[in-house]
Chain A
Amino acid sequence: MRNADVVIVGGGPAGLAAAVRLYDLGITDIVILEREHQPGGILKQCIHDGFGLTRFKETLSGPEYAKRFVDEAQKRGIPCITDTTVIDVSADKVVTAAHADGMIVIQAKAVILTMGCRERTRGAISIPGTRPAGVMTAGVAQAYINLQNRMIGKEVVILGSGDIGMIMARRMTLEGAHVQAVFEVLPTPSGLPRNIEQCLNDYGIPLYLSHTVTDIRGEGRLTGITVAAVDERMQPIPGTEKDYDCDTLILSVGLIPENELTIGAGAELDPKTKGAFVDEFCQTTVPGIFAAGNVLHVHDLVDFVSMEAESLAEGAAEYIKNGSLPKAGIAIACGENVGHTIPQRISGEKSFHLSLRVRKVMKECTLTVSQGEHVLLTRKMKKALPAEMINLNIDAKKLKGTDDLEVKVV
């Protein structure tokens, strides 16, 4: 068994950003374990642009954005062991991974979990029908088209208005496929407005809200689907069914943080985020195990993924030096219209970054962070969308005592 100050599980935009920042804070004994052949994570297949505007003030494609962090890590000589799949992280921070040269077992002082997320599947949402080829998630379609040079179909329907789904609608159109429509079960789009504009409207691809797929047909290959409008309980409305002939159904129906290792380590998960409960240091309920990026909660922009990971470096460095961090005794409650927050608990000793999402579309609303009667922060917003994360900085000096906080948007 080897030792390391920090083991980072996953060399995507979160893991690489955390590594670089930790290194710059003087923690240089870092090992990144990456399951793929190259670092960069999912960004390798996200060849569209629009990344980096917040973090780098310029618009980059996914591979270019990833390269910034890969280069920074390389410049510092931070080892990133690729083709390595972590199969276990223990509560006492022993990381076990499989590699072609043998099993890797490392005792770390701190572990940073940056495994990202996975896509919800057909099975997760129980779409009825047969099981032909030609039904796949948007990320799989993206990997085939952008990495492997494989074309997946000609007549396409997309279920789910997630960003990747809309981006694949444009991508497939550019490559000669006919994308008939995008259907979204919710009454509001799940992806960003700019993607509706530049990926769907630009190419004349209609978006139908409050619609879902109720049947899948075809034995060998997909031959068609049935779509129906849904009511407010998201149940199909009889009589609204319409058939579409297609050979491809792409699903963009949500992302789920990939937390099997987190659970194995004994960290508690928040049912709202499906990621770990964390404090303002991004520390999970297991001391010394931290999480950031999409493994913690699904982000809208990769910029925020990297920035969240960078923000944990200070706390992780402190933990490595002192063996502990201030106890997080103040809970942050989700008040009216707030779906979740990160962090869920804070120590109150440090100013912190608060991320949240609202539950529904709102216009001309006000966000309030309060502690009992005491209001810490209000922010007026022209609009708030579930598709967009809201990011705030909270000044520790404004906290009064150790009462719990509440965040609401009304």
Chain B
Amino acid sequence: MKHYDVAIIGGGVIGCAVARELSRWQLSAVVLEKEPDVATGNSSRNTGMLHAGFTYKPGSLKAECAVEGNQEFDRVAAELHIPFRRTGKLVVGFTEHDRENILKFKAIGEKNGVKGLRMIDREEMNRIDPNAGGEFAMYAPSSGILDPMQYTIALAENACRNGAQFLLEHRVTAIHREGESYVIETDKEEVAARWVINCAGAYAADISAMLGYPRYYQRGFKGEYYVLDKKAGVQLSIPVYPAPNDKGGFMTHATPTIDGNVLVGPDSYITEGREDYANRREQLAGLVRDGGKMFKQMRAEYFIRNFAGIRWKNCNPETGEVLDFIVESKRECPNTVNLVGIESPGITCALPLARRAVKLLLEGEKAQGREVKANNRFDPVRPRAKRFYEMTIEEKTAAIEANPDYGQIVCRCENVTRAEILEAIHNPLGVHTLTGVKNRTRAMMGRCQGGYCQTRITEMIEQELKVTPEEICYQKADGYVFTGKVRDCE
């Protein structure tokens, strides 16, 4: 049984951010993730918004972390080499009632310390983006867009480079205390750790109960999305959100993605299924209807994919009221940090939450007389080669000269080269799935959805990782792609 100082349960954006922040210290850390990759749950199933922080109750952890996370993100993106753009955001209205609700949020935002919020008229909206729906809007300059998968992967890889370990396909089944340590049972092997940090997202309430915390009530607010072609992407430059409803919730919005697509969604409805990520016919119809109000070019010919995510909100079990994020460390549950109800704006808040979690851990260590030393070799920078499609022609020429694999385009829609696919196949976390390559490179993510490149990529995975056809999996460990060979030597 391997022993660690800290076991982090869950390889979503929170678990990876915690791992990365922990790796600043001389602590051995392991991330236990049930899926074959990080960011397979709700960390990848969201809009990819860097929120400004104008919708959250003043004084709440959500408000505090969102503003903090928003303000620092230019540096974070630079350190991790992830694409990021401060697009600003429009919260648009059609009626006077919409205006009242928007103004409520403007006041909240100002109280939270969000800078630059102002109301604009249609004429100014036209200058910002004529394809944005609505008659007037609140403009929030500090909102931004990023790729939440790239971000989570970057946090994980940076943590990994700084010493954290990742055990993928390790689902935690039970936790018990033995002496000064926790023994964590998984569906693979047992792992021992002095500290446990619960970053289990959809399953946070279950892990929380395993650690001895009260069983929190997390309610699943599911939302579905359309992904639109880059041909739609060139027609939208800024996220367009509708005026909040009377309860303060945002419904279907239209957001350009950092890679040039458009996301339309999410809607919102309650689900019981922890991983109920299936799209429903009637919900998709609703997205088409509501999305068109936000983005005038919402057209069927642009549809390339759908997905769904679930915001697991920490709720009052009696009233159903949505509560704040929880980051706690209780004496009754020694050497644990419990993060519950982490939902939107979880991407924006990941590092601020991680710092708070690490702080609780360090305080706990100190209280037990342990002085944790800083990891002097910690490097916050996660290098990443420029993508071929981002390069100028001179850079492309130089890249091919240095490595001819850059001259072989495997994915024609997104112009992803063999060099980039190979790098993704040999990723530092040891992810071997087809979607692992997809989320790292954008191959198979374009308008043909892998129609051209998928067969080439599975072939490369087989060759590079020396696996049999039956071992190739799509996204999940049991998501086999092949049943065997058509012809085989006896």
State the A residues within 8 Å of B (CB).
Answer: 35, 83, 85, 87, 96, 98-103, 105, 118-119, 121-126, 128-134, 136-137, 139-140, 143-145, 147-154, 175, 214-217, 219-221, 236, 247, 260, 263
**Does the CB pair A150–B486 fall under 8 Å?**
yes
| Candidates A99, A143, A216, A221; contact of B479 at CB < 8 Å | A221
CB of A266, distance to nearest CB on chain B (Å): 14
When the two chains form the complex, which single residue of B284, B469, B482 contacts A128, counting CB atoms closer than 8 Å? B284
Q: How long is the Cα–Cα vector from A123 to B449 in the complex, in angstroms?
A: 8
Of B278, B409, B452, the residue contacting A130 (CB under 8 A) is B278
Chain B: which residue is nearest A144 at the CB level?
Answer: B455
B305 surroundings in chain A (CB, below 8 A): 121-123
Give the residue among B412, B450, B484 with the most A Cβ atoms within 10 A: B412
> Which of A118, A131, A145: most chain B Cβ within 10 A?
A131
Measured between beta carbons, the chain B residues less than 8 angstroms from A260 are: 413
With an 8 A cutoff between CB atoms, is B4 at the interface? no
Q: Which residues of A contact B476 (CB under 8 A)?
A: 132-133, 219-220
A150 touches B458 (CB 8 A): yes
B3 to chain A, nearest CB (A): 32
Cross-chain contact B448 with A119 (CB below 8 angstroms): yes
With known contacts A85-B412, A132-B474, A133-B475, A100–B407 Cβ distance under 8 A:
yes
Q: How far is the CA of A147 from the CA of B479 in the complex (A)?
A: 22
What separation, in Å, do the CA atoms of A133 and B481 have in the docked complex? 6
B381 to chain A, nearest CB (A): 29
Contacts A98-B400, A140-B451, A220-B477 known; list 7 others, CB within 8 Å.
Answer: A102-B400, A103-B393, A123-B227, A126-B303, A128-B278, A133-B479, A220-B480
Assess the B455–A143 pair: CB atoms within 8 A: yes
CB-CB < 8 A to B284: which residues of A?
Answer: 126, 128
Q: Which of A123, A154, A214 contacts B303 (CB 8 A)?
A: A123
The binding surface of chain A is classed by DSSP as: mixed
Known: A121-B451, A124-B303, A219-B476. A130 touches B482 (CB 8 A): no
Interface residue ranges of B251-290 to A (CB < 8 Å): 275, 277-281, 284
Contact (Cβ within 8 A) B400 A103? yes
Q: What B residues does A103 contact at CB under 8 A?
A: 393, 396-397, 400, 407
B8 at the interface (CB under 8 A from A): no
A145 near B486: Cβ-Cβ < 8 Å: yes
How far in angstroms is the closest Cβ of chain B from A41?
12
The answer, yes or no, to whether B454 is at the interface (CB within 8 Å) is yes
Q: Does B127 sit at the interface, judged by CB under 8 A? A: no
Residues of B within 8 A of A148 (CB): 455, 458-459
Q: Which one of B281, B474, B479 contacts A236 once the chains associate, using CB atoms below 8 Å?
A: B281
Q: Collect the chain A residues with CB atoms within 8 Å of residue B454's CB.
A: 136, 140
State the CA gap A219–B478 with chains docked (Å). 8
Q: Give chain A nearest CB distance to B286 CB in angstroms.
A: 12
What is the CB-to-nearest-CB distance from A254 to chain B, in angstroms, rounded to a whole number?
12
Residue in chain A with minimal CB distance to B415: A87
**A99 with B451: CB separation less than 8 A:** no
Q: Counting chain B CB atoms within 10 Å of each CB, which of A35, A96, A140, A216 scores highest?
A: A140
Is B95 part of the binding interface, using a Cβ–Cβ cutoff of 8 Å?
A: no
Query: Which residues of A lie under 8 Å from residue B452 when comparing CB positions?
Result: 118
